[in-house]
Amino acid sequence: MVKKKEREETVPEKKNGRFKKRYSILTVFIVGLLALLIGSGSVFFIMDQKLTAARQTSRSMAKIEAVYSTLYNNYYRHVSRQKLENGALSGMVNSLGDPFSEYMSKTETQSLNDTISSSFTGIGAEVRKNGDKIQIVSPIDGTPAAKAGLKANDVIEKIDGKSMSGVSLSKAVSNIRGKKGTKVTLTIKRDSETFTKTLVRDTIPVKTVTGRLDKDHKSVGYIRVSTFSEKTATEFKNEVKKLRKQGAKSFVIDMRDNPGGLMDQALAMSSMFLENGKTIMQVQARDQAPQVFKAGKKYDDGFKIKEKTAVLINGGSASAAEIFSAALHQSANIKLIGTKSYGKGTVQNTVPFNDKTELKVTIAKWLTPDGSWIHHKGIQPTVKKDFPSYAYQTAIDTKKTYQKGEVSDQIKKVQTLLKALGYGPANANGYFDTDTQDALKKFQADNKLQETGSADKATIEKLEDKITAKVAASDDAYKTAIEYVK
């Protein structure tokens, strides 16, 4: 068992310059979700506070040490010290019932740290812990996860055949990631369906900000922020400058399906839109008054955005994305358009140990400028706009070909997509009738597919491709934002 002195030494004063005084902005992360692109984050307490806590609790360790010693010396089979220690540490953290607090192994720690500052190989999907389930928040644009059609709220039941029920978030991430070009098979549960997807791991790009002028309104700049990484604020600033040169006089900022990331980046970006002295956010630790973060040159380096702006949010907008959205709405009266955000309002502290493991623990909650805590509540948009219902339809099982005379939920999905694309049939009731067959033949002819009148794999995949394009073209939230800022 580690002795008292050794325990105290495992809390280093500095690691790669990350440990500074409490709430030092360069060391503060907000954990919205543990992502395959962006890792979790930290707010650090002063080291002396941790050491005092360790001395105060040292007397209560006698029982734990007695159990440890009994198991190590008397259990009928040999058990390693490391296994017992890891079990004890994990058990203490798990007793909190907090999915964002965990004791991480060396592998899990390395996986977490790699995501913060560099590119890596994986599938490119943000995941979160929902009870004992591993759930996808959203795929990153252009990644294997997005190309495979993974969607928000998909539950990853198995990874390469191994059940993920009750597995820690970090462990699940470690299992999903791997060398570029290797395959990983995910068993996905979507609503009442269960299916498998085999993805090829690839390099996940670090670039988090993209932009363009709206094709119909060249004075409106559209900026998409996928996550908050180390260089996001700089990328964002450069994108604004570029679009200004191209003629942008107003902006639409897309925070949809942004799972969060680094808090200092959210502060920097928020400050760009706020008058100096306006509140960006507040952080409140246990038994302490909230610490208020206000806009100013220390965050935005004097770079300000005064053009008319609207922000797009949805249920995948979390944590740092919510900090940004709430700050702009409450402190700059900027409209939020879309659907309610995710609702993640806690702060985690990551403590590294000498053996390269880490403890991640929730130590504070963050509040919006007006003092609201959005945890599990989310942020309501100023203007509610959503995609049509068919955009949320679950994937159609392509293992089977569906034919006239059959009845199933899968056929109902085929009918729904055909109807959304203007082919009919009149009723999407799950019965494969003549109207459905005729609609399929017309769709197949228009898309140079074999005119079988049956829903085979090629036809279903083309249907889903077409509906994806239609959804993108029928983005009412984006259209509303353009009308507002143009």
| Top-confidence residue, 131 or 475 | 475
> Picking from 128-142, 227-241, 403-417, which range would have the lowest pLDDT averaged per residue?
128-142
182-196: pLDDT as tens digits: 999 999 999 888 999
200 and 256 belong to one structural domain: no
| Nearest-5° Cα angle at 470, 191 to 453 | 75
pLDDT of residue 8: 24
Measuring CA to CA, how many Å separate 237 from each of 208, 210, 302, 442? 12, 11, 11, 48
In a domain, residue 431? The reply is yes
The neighbouring-strand residues paired with 365 are 284, 346
pLDDT of residue 168: 81
* DSSP characters over 18-55: ---STT-GGG-EE-S--BSSS-----PPPHHHHHHHHH
Per-residue pLDDT, averaged over 290-307, amounts to 98
What pLDDT band is residue 3 in, cutting at 50, 70 and 90?
Answer: very low
340-388: pLDDT as tens digits: 999 999 988 788 889 888 898 898 999 999 999 999 999 999 999 999 9
**Residue 468 sits in which domain range?**
394-473
Amino acid at 263: M
183 and 219 belong to one structural domain: no
- Does pTM surpass 0.75? no
270 and 302 belong to one structural domain: yes
* DSSP state at residue 289: P
What pLDDT band is residue 2 in, cutting at 50, 70 and 90?
Answer: very low
412-458: pLDDT as tens digits: 999 999 999 999 898 899 999 999 999 999 999 999 999 999 999 99
326 and 445 belong to one structural domain: no
The answer to whether 204 touches 124, Cβ cutoff 8 Å, is yes
294 and 413 belong to one structural domain: no
In a domain, residue 19? The reply is no
Question: CA torsion sign, 369 to 372 to 375 to 376?
Answer: negative
Question: Mean of the per-residue pLDDT values for the chain?
Answer: 85
C-alpha–C-alpha distance, residues 257 and 464, integer Å: 20
- The helix/strand/coil state of 89 is helix
Strand bridging mode 261-262 / 250-254:
unpaired
* CATH number for the domain that contains residue 288: 3.90.226.10
Retrieve residue 379's tokens.
């942020």
pLDDT of residue 70: 95
Looking at the predicted structure, is the pLDDT value of residue 19 above 50?
no
| Residue given tokens 């990484």 in the structure block | 229
360 and 430 belong to one structural domain: no
C-alpha–C-alpha distance, residues 147 and 401, integer Å: 22
What pLDDT band is residue 237 in, cutting at 50, 70 and 90?
Answer: very high
| Residue given tokens 């897309």 in the structure block | 254
| Nearest-5° Cα angle at 126, 125 to 129 | 130
181 and 312 belong to one structural domain: no
